[in-house]
């Protein structure tokens, strides 16, 4: 509404700038020759003044005066010959008024409606960012963080937060830069290197570049059991045409898998594509699809029994072959959930013994033990 | 809301300019005071509306309102404040809006300061000005609307074009436009006179100051553009005969001619019809310049052909205004009264010669600029017309012009005495010959052309000064009275002297910097020294540095002259990551009027850095001369007197000694 009032005001001003002078002007005409005469008279004065100041001598002044007088007489003659300035008809005036009152607003509003967008308000960036929390426009939140980082480019945490958001928005090149900054500022670790490599690979349409390879290798060096970097490294081997090495890498990766990880399927199909056989352990490592479906149809006792059997299978495997810290902790949690206190305490002890050489795992185990109230 | 108000104000200005195109002109033809009275207030209103529109766009830039397509495409929230503002006219749409803003600004100036202009002439002039306004507003609204919106608004703008982030470039286009567009007023005056069929004394009286004002801005605009190219482009050239430069230079040449012929017309009522033609041609060249720069035809004729909407629109405006005004001229000019007769040897005659030479120079530039375009369009041949062409055509025309400049100042109106003038110019001639001999002796005979050029420059400077000194008549009246007479001279006389002397100063700079420039290109490692024209440049190392939106490698050099440290230079290579665009930041040290110019090139693997150094003697005089010229314009403009040329009567002529 406000905007239309503003438009109306402007239009009224414009119309008045035409109407008011027309109403106030005198209804007479001035002969153009009279203007000329005025100029010539002023020129005569000028000659006198120049003469007084000694800029021209008497002869020059005389010459100029003669010249101007000649023009002045000519102007007078022209003026008298066309001395018939009768005011002209009112029709043209009426047209001019009509133009100001009717055409001006109609044409302006008509044209504006064709071109303009009266219902779009101003959207200054600062106000939009301030309002961003309310309507959670992800792009604006990103803009907000970007602003912060433009001012504090040394804020590694900021880059780390921003990077995965870029990935989700599909701005992979920005994500690569963000991860690179995060690693530069916060230092290298397995997860950051893995994410960095992944971003590089996606930005590169799935091709694992040399830079990405280096990142994944760093990640594996920091955490030899980490699945994701090994997954990408296996892909890289395949892309480089080192089929035998790729098969070995896939098999090693699948051997360590539990089977329910989202990437296992991809890994199996990749392996099959390059002609490798899946390792035996990968075939039934965890609860199979049938197991879970069966569990859904069972009564509570039956289900408890089935879960108990599954836990027992895991227990048995860990006792026989050993396993990763994650597997040990899953076992501990399982016993805890089932309410078997003795077995929980026992599995904590066994895990502590098995993971003795891995300080990070021992630390994780200690905190888990504390959490469930079992002395280590 | 602000953005939409700006948009509506622009539309309203367009409709109002249509009203203005008809009402006052019709009133002037019918001698109806009531219709004519609308001209001035409506001009003010048009300025208000377009100004409001421009302010609204600026507000959108300042608040980074990316719901406006133009802001989204040409701005970025991280831009420094100054460049957000200059970004308004750093793009096509915004610059056209600025163009129209200046157009209506001049219209409102005429309305405000033209109280003495006869009503009929003022009404018709403002009406014609409104035709141009209407045409360009239609162009903006139809093809280059800066107020189009975008929903949903993007979170960030697209542009951080680093080349445009320069203070020189922020000021340059407005100045240039003030000059270009300023000539629309003289054009409007000329067309109004043709429509009314009257070229009276008042016409000549009122055209000259407007031509002078426009010329003043154009001089400063061109000079500034030249200096910008000099320090920003990194290889020390100050004029490239580039089509964009020529586009602004052609109106300047024609405008200079107009300035002089308007003088004849004002003082002597002669050259009326020629002055009208020049006024039309000058603005036509401005329009042509706008077309060349804005249609994209310069980048490639074919690129223009693939997206022709804008170019065709401007071309249509061009044809209508140039063709229409010339047709009007052909039809009405014979009916205009010729005035004032004069002998060939007279002030008038000298100014005619000036006009002929300037027009010929303008034609030379015109051919050199448009011939390649025509050839590309017709024969699909791409040729480039470079400095050699212009040096061979433009140069020879300028030399006689410079030679006759001092004569023109001395010659009397109506009929002059060449011999008497020559006698009074002997001192200036002696100065010029002296300069030639000194240069030839100190620089050797191989520089004989340069020596002659410098002599010519001194001839122009000394000649224009001696005119004013002779008017003071020191020899007859003594020192004290002489000085009093000097101070009492009309300011327009001082304006002439400054204008001509400034030209001489620029010529001096051009000749010296071109002929005696030395250049050295070396690859330096830290600690190494190169020598140019007696200056020892020691490279101290190169280090990275971070700017607000760029990173740069800054080299540091110490300059020694005769063993003493005279300055330190920090040329740099910059990269703007947002655009991956490198720029060169040259370093310049000024010694007196001369400059040492240094830019860095590639950094080699072994730590060596390519350095390019120039020593340019007297180079700053090129731009200082234009400032002196512009100062002459200001002085002359401040002289509000009516002028009349006082001829010497025949019998009072001093008889030359046999």
State whether B16 and A104 contact (CB < 8 Å): yes
Nearest CB neighbour to B33, from listed A27, A71, A104: A27
Contact list, A130 vs chain B (CB under 8 Å): none
**pLDDT tier, A133 (very low <50, low <70, confident <90, very high otherwise):** low
Average pLDDT over residues B352-368: 92
**pLDDT tier, A136 (very low <50, low <70, confident <90, very high otherwise):** low
pLDDT at B642: 53
In chain B, the residue whose alpha carbon lies closest to the alpha carbon of A94 is B35
**pLDDT tier, A361 (very low <50, low <70, confident <90, very high otherwise):** confident
Please provide the DSSP assignment of B113-154 as one string: H-TTS-HHHHHHHHHHHHHHHHHHHHHHHHH--TT-B-SSPP
Worst-scoring range by mean pLDDT, A203-212, A254-263, B271-280, B490-499?
A254-263
List A residues 164-183 in contact with B (Cβ-Cβ < 8 A): none
Q: What whole-number distance in Å separates Cα of residue B518 and Cα of residue B594?
A: 12
Worst-scoring range by mean pLDDT, A63-72, A76-85, B21-30?
A76-85
Phi, psi of A92 (to 5 degrees): -65, -35
* pLDDT tens sequence across B512-545: 998 888 988 888 888 888 999 889 999 988 888 8
Q: Does A5 touch chain B (CB under 8 A)?
A: no
Q: Does A140 touch chain B (CB under 8 A)?
A: yes
Nearest CB neighbour to A14, from listed B7, B45, B205: B45
pLDDT at B216: 94
State whether A63 and B200 contact (CB < 8 Å): no
With 70 as the cut, is the pLDDT of residue A296 above it?
Answer: no
Q: What whole-number distance in Å separates Cα of residue A310 and Cα of residue B358?
A: 101
The kind and range of the H/E element at B623 are: helix B620-638
Contact list, A139 vs chain B (CB under 8 Å): 154-155
Six-digit token string for B491: 């300011």
Average pLDDT over residues B258-271: 84
Contact list, B489 vs chain A (CB under 8 Å): 55
pLDDT at B655: 35
Average pLDDT over residues B101-126: 90
Q: How far is CA B493 from the centre of its chain?
A: 23
B242, with CB counted inside 10 A (0-12, 13-18, 19+), is middle
Q: Does A7 touch chain B (CB under 8 A)?
A: yes
With 70 as the cut, is the pLDDT of residue B350 above it?
Answer: yes
Nearest CA-CA distance, residue A39 and chain B, Å: 6
With 70 as the cut, is the pLDDT of residue B163 above it?
Answer: no
Contact list, B8 vs chain A (CB under 8 Å): 6-7, 10, 108, 112, 116
Torsion of CA A150, A153, A156, A162, to 10 degrees: 20
With 50 as the cut, is the pLDDT of residue B654 above it?
Answer: no
State whether B60 and A122 contact (CB < 8 Å): yes
Worst-scoring range by mean pLDDT, A36-50, B17-31, B195-209?
A36-50
pLDDT at B141: 95
Q: Does A324 touch chain B (CB under 8 A)?
A: no
Q: Is the Cβ–Cβ distance between B325 and B280 less than 8 Å?
A: yes
Q: What is the residue whose two structure tokens read 């005198």?
A: A26
CA distances from A282 to A27, A277, A364, B19 (A): 105, 11, 26, 85
State whether B646 and A121 contact (CB < 8 Å): no
pLDDT at B159: 66
Residue ranges covered by each domain of chain B: 1-165, 391-516+623-640, 518-616
Please give the mean pLDDT across all residues of chain A. 79
Q: Does A63 touch chain B (CB under 8 A)?
A: yes
- Which residues are bridge partners to B610 per DSSP? B523
- Count of CB atoms within 10 A of residue B397's CB? 19
Best to test chain A binding among B2, B14, B27, B34 (most A CBs inside 10 Å): B34
**What is the layout of strands, in order, in the sheet containing B594-603?**
B518-524, B609-616, B594-603, B587-591
Best to test chain B binding among A62, A117, A138, A149 (most B CBs inside 10 Å): A117
Q: What whole-number distance in Å separates Cα of residue A129 and Cα of residue A356?
A: 51
State whether B205 and A39 contact (CB < 8 Å): yes
CATH code that applies to domain A292-372: 1.25.40
**In chain A, which residues fall in CATH 1.25.40.10?**
135-282
Nearest CA-CA distance, residue A67 and chain B, Å: 8
**pLDDT tier, B1 (very low <50, low <70, confident <90, very high otherwise):** confident
Q: Report angle CA B290, B293, B298 to the nearest 5 degrees.
A: 135
A371, with CB counted inside 10 A (0-12, 13-18, 19+), is exposed
Rounded to two decimals, the ipTM of the complex is: 0.82
pLDDT at A295: 56
Best to test chain A binding among B2, B8, B551 (most A CBs inside 10 Å): B8
Picking from B136, B477, B525, the residue whose alpha carbon sits closest to that of residue B314 is: B136
Nearest CB neighbour to B145, from listed A17, A36, A115: A115
Question: Which residues contact residue B580 at a Cβ distance below 8 angstroms, ignoring those fewer than 6 apart?
Answer: none
CATH of the structural domain A135-282, one choice from 1.25.40.10, 1.20.272.10, 1.20.58.100, 3.40.50.2000: 1.25.40.10
Nearest CB neighbour to A124, from listed B37, B42, B64: B64
State whether A30 and B3 contact (CB < 8 Å): no
**pLDDT tier, A105 (very low <50, low <70, confident <90, very high otherwise):** very high
Q: What whole-number distance in Å separates Cα of residue B136 and Cα of residue B286?
A: 14
Picking from B566, B520, B573, the residue whose alpha carbon sits closest to that of residue B542 is: B573
Helices (H), B197-242: 201-232
Best to test chain A binding among B4, B30, B156 (most A CBs inside 10 Å): B4
With 50 as the cut, is the pLDDT of residue B651 above it?
Answer: no
**pLDDT tier, A84 (very low <50, low <70, confident <90, very high otherwise):** very low
pLDDT at B22: 93
pLDDT at B658: 32
Q: What is the residue whose two structure tokens read 């590639």?
A: B602
Cis peptide before A169 (omega within 30 of 0): no
Nearest CB neighbour to B3, from listed A25, A28, A122: A122
Contact list, B14 vs chain A (CB under 8 Å): 108, 111
Phi, psi of A124 (to 5 degrees): -65, 140
């Amino acid at each position: 509404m406000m905007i239309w009032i503003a438009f109306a005001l402007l239009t009224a001003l414009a119309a008045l700038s035409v109407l008011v002078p027309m109403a106030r002007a005198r209804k007479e005409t001035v002969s153009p020759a009279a203007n000329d005469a005025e100029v010539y008279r002023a020129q005569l004065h000028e000659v006198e003044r120049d003469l007084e100041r000694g800029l021209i001598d008497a002869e020059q002044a005389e010459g100029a005066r003669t010249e101007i007088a000649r023009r002045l007489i000519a102007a007078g003659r022209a003026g008298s010959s066309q001395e018939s300035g009768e005011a002209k008809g009112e029709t043209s005036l009426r047209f001019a008024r009509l133009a100001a009152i009717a055409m001006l607003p109609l044409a302006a509003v008509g044209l504006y409606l064709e071109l303009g967008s009266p219902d779009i308000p101003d959207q200054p960036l600062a106000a939009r960012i301030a309002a961003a929390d309310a309507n959670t426009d992800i792009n604006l939140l990103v803009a907000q963080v970007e602003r912060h980082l433009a001012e504090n480019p040394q804020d590694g945490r900021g880059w780390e937060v921003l990077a995965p958001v870029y990935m989700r928005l599909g701005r992979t090149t920005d994500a690569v830069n963000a991860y690179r900054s995060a690693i530069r500022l916060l230092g290298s670790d397995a997860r950051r290197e893995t994410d960095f490599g992944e971003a590089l690979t996606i930005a590169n349409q799935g091709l694992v570049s040399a830079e990405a390879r280096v990142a994944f290798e760093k990640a594996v060096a920091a955490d030899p059991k980490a699945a994701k970097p090994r997954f990408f490294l296996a892909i890289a081997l395949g892309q480089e045409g080192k089929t035998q090495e790729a098969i070995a890498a896939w098999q090693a990766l699948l051997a360590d898998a539990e089977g329910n990880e989202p990437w296992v399927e991809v890994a199996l199909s990749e392996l099959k594509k390059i002609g490798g056989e899946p390792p035996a352990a990968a075939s039934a490592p965890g609860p199979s699809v049938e197991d879970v479906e069966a569990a859904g149809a069972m009564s509570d006792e039956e289900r408890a029994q089935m879960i108990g059997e599954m836990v027992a299978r895991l227990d048995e495997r860990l006792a026989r072959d050993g396993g990763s810290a994650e597997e040990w902790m899953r076992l501990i949690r399982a016993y805890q959930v089932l309410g078997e206190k003795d077995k929980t305490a026992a599995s904590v002890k066994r895990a502590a013994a098995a993971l003795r050489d891995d300080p990070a795992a021992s630390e994780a185990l200690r905190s888990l033990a504390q959490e469930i109230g079992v002395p280590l | 809301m602000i953005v939409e108000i700006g948009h509506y104000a622009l539309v309203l200005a367009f409709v109002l300019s249509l009203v203005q195109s008809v009402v006052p002109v019709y009133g002037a033809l019918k001698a109806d005071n009531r219709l004519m009275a609308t001209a001035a207030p409506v001009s003010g209103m048009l300025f208000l509306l377009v100004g409001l529109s421009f302010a609204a766009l600026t507000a959108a830039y300042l608040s980074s309102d990316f719901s406006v397509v133009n802001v989204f495409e040409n701005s970025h929230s991280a831009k420094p404040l100054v460049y957000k503002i200059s970004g308004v006219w750093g793009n096509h749409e915004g610059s056209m809006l600025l163009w129209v803003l200046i157009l209506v600004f001049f219209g409102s100036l005429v309305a405000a300061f033209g109280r003495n202009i006869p009503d009929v002439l003022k009404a018709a002039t403002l009406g014609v000005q409104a035709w141009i306004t209407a045409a360009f507003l239609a162009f903006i609204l139809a093809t280059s609307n800066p107020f189009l919106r975008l929903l949903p608004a993007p979170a960030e703008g697209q542009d951080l074009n680093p080349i445009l982030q320069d203070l020189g470039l922020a000021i340059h286009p407005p100045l240039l436009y003030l000059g270009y567009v300023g000539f629309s007023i003289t054009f409007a005056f000329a067309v109004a006179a043709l429509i009314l069929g009257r070229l009276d004394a008042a016409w000549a009286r009122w055209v000259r100051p407007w031509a002078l004002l426009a010329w003043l801005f154009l001089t400063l605009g061109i000079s500034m553009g030249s200096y910008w190219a000099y320090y920003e482009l990194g290889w020390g050239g100050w004029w490239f005969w580039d089509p964009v430069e020529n586009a602004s230079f052609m109106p300047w040449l024609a405008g200079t001619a107009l300035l002089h012929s308007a003088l004849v017309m004002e003082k002597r009522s002669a050259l009326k019809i020629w002055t009208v033609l020049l006024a039309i041609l000058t603005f036509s060249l401005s329009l042509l310049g706008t077309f060349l720069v804005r249609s994209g035809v310069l980048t490639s004729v074919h690129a223009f052909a693939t997206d022709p909407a804008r170019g065709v629109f401007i071309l249509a405006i061009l044809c209508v205004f140039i063709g229409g005004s010339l047709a009007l001229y052909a039809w009405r000019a014979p009916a205009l009264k010729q005035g004032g007769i004069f002998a060939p040897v007279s002030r008038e005659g000298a100014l005619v010669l000036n006009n002929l030479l300037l027009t010929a120079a303008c034609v030379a530039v015109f051919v050199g600029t448009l011939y390649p375009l025509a050839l590309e369009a017709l024969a699909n041949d791409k040729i480039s017309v470079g400095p050699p062409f212009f040096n061979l055509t433009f140069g020879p025309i300028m030399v006689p012009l410079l030679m006759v400049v001092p004569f023109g100042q001395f010659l009397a109106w109506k009929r002059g005495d060449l011999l008497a003038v020559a006698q009074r110019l002997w001192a200036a001639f002696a100065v010029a010959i002296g300069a030639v001999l000194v240069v030839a002796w100190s620089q050797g005979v191989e520089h004989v052309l340069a020596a002659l050029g410098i002599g010519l420059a001194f001839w122009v400077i000394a000649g224009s000064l001696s005119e004013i000194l002779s008017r003071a008549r020191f020899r007859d009246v003594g020192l004290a009275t002489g000085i009093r007479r000097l101070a009492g001279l009309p300011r327009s006389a001082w304006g002439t002297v400054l204008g001509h002397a400034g030209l001489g100063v620029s010529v001096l700079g051009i000749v010296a910097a071109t002929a005696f420039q030395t250049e050295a290109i070396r690859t330096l490692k830290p600690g190494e020294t190169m020598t140019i024209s007696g200056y020892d440049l020691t490279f101290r190392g190169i280090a990275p540095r971070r700017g607000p939106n760029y990173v740069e490698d800054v080299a540091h050099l110490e300059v020694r002259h005769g063993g003493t440290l005279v300055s330190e230079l920090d040329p740099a290579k910059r990269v703007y990551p947002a655009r991956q665009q490198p720029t060169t930041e040259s370093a310049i040290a000024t010694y007196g009027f001369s400059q040492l110019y240094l830019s860095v090139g590639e950094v080699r693997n072994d730590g060596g850095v390519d350095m390019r150094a120039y020593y340019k003697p007297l180079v700053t005089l090129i731009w200082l001369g234009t400032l002196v010229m512009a100062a002459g314009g200001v002085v002359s403009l401040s002289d509000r007197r009516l002028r009349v040329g006082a001829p010497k009567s025949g019998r009072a002529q001093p008889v030359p000694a046999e």
